[in-house]
Structure 1
Amino acid sequence: MNGLTLTPVQILVGAGVLLGLCWVWRAGARRAKAAAEAARSGARLVSLAGRVLFNAGLIVAVQWVVIAHPGNRWLLFAVLGLPALFSSYALTRAMTVTTLDTSKRGGHR
């Protein structure tokens, strides 16, 4: 039978190689996770843009039908006014600046 004998230097080199492999593996995993997150972020943006365009087209189509076939003035005001209210609400919320005042523990600057 052959006995496996390793010197302390060989053990340290082996541990260093294992540590290096773990480091490279974790770095690759982080890079892959960052790439996946960037792809998801881009997909979310495209999905959001698609939904916005679809809803805008739907609103325009309904408005076009009501304007093309006049008859009821209140229906015209509702069809033109409700989307204006929704969009003004969304724009107001998007443009409103909110601050989060937090106090830091410890020393004050």
Structure 2
Amino acid sequence: MTINLTPTQLLAGLGVVLLLLIVWRSGARKAKAAKGAAQASARLLSLTGRVLVTAGGIVGVQWLVITHPGNTTLLLVVLGLPALFASYTLTRALTVTGVDGPRRRGDR
């Protein structure tokens, strides 16, 4: 059994294979982009949950100390310590440490 292919048929076959390869790679890129978007939203949701739980814990401890007065030092520590953490975090978040210029291909 011999297969006789004309040059036109051979080029058409190679074109179909090339087209399938391009479609497959673009599908893989779209899947990777969708995966990255899903991970980013999951990270945001996880961060939001952790922030809410931590804030609830701080508020709970502060509420306990405020509703049971008697120790002024403990009251100042319970109210001041979260304020210090918050001010440190805000200062770090709002401080510009460098200027980001255009990146070259080899930069990390």
| TM score, norm. by length of structure 2 | 0.90
User: What is the RMSD computed on CA atoms of the aligned residues?
Assistant: 1.9
Report deviation, 1:80. Answer: 0.4
Q: 1:101 to 1:60 in 2, by over 3 A?
A: closer
Amino acid at match of 1:28: G
Structure 2 unmatched runs, 5+: none
- What is the alpha-carbon distance in structure 1 between the residues aligned to residue 62 and residue 98 of structure 2? 38
Moved segments of 4+, more than 3 Å: none
Residue 72 of structure 1 pairs with residue 71 of structure 2? yes
Percent of aligned pairs with the same residue? 63
Report deviation, 1:100. Answer: 3.6
Structure 1 unmatched runs, 5+: none
- The count of residues paired between Structure 1 and Structure 2 equals 104
| TM alignment of 1:43-58, pairs within 5 A | 43-58=42-57
| TM score, norm. by length of structure 1 | 0.89
Amino acid at match of 2:91: T
Report deviation, 1:7. Answer: 1.1
Q: Secondary structure at the match of 2:56?
A: helix
| TM alignment of 1:1-109, pairs within 5 A | 2-100=1-99
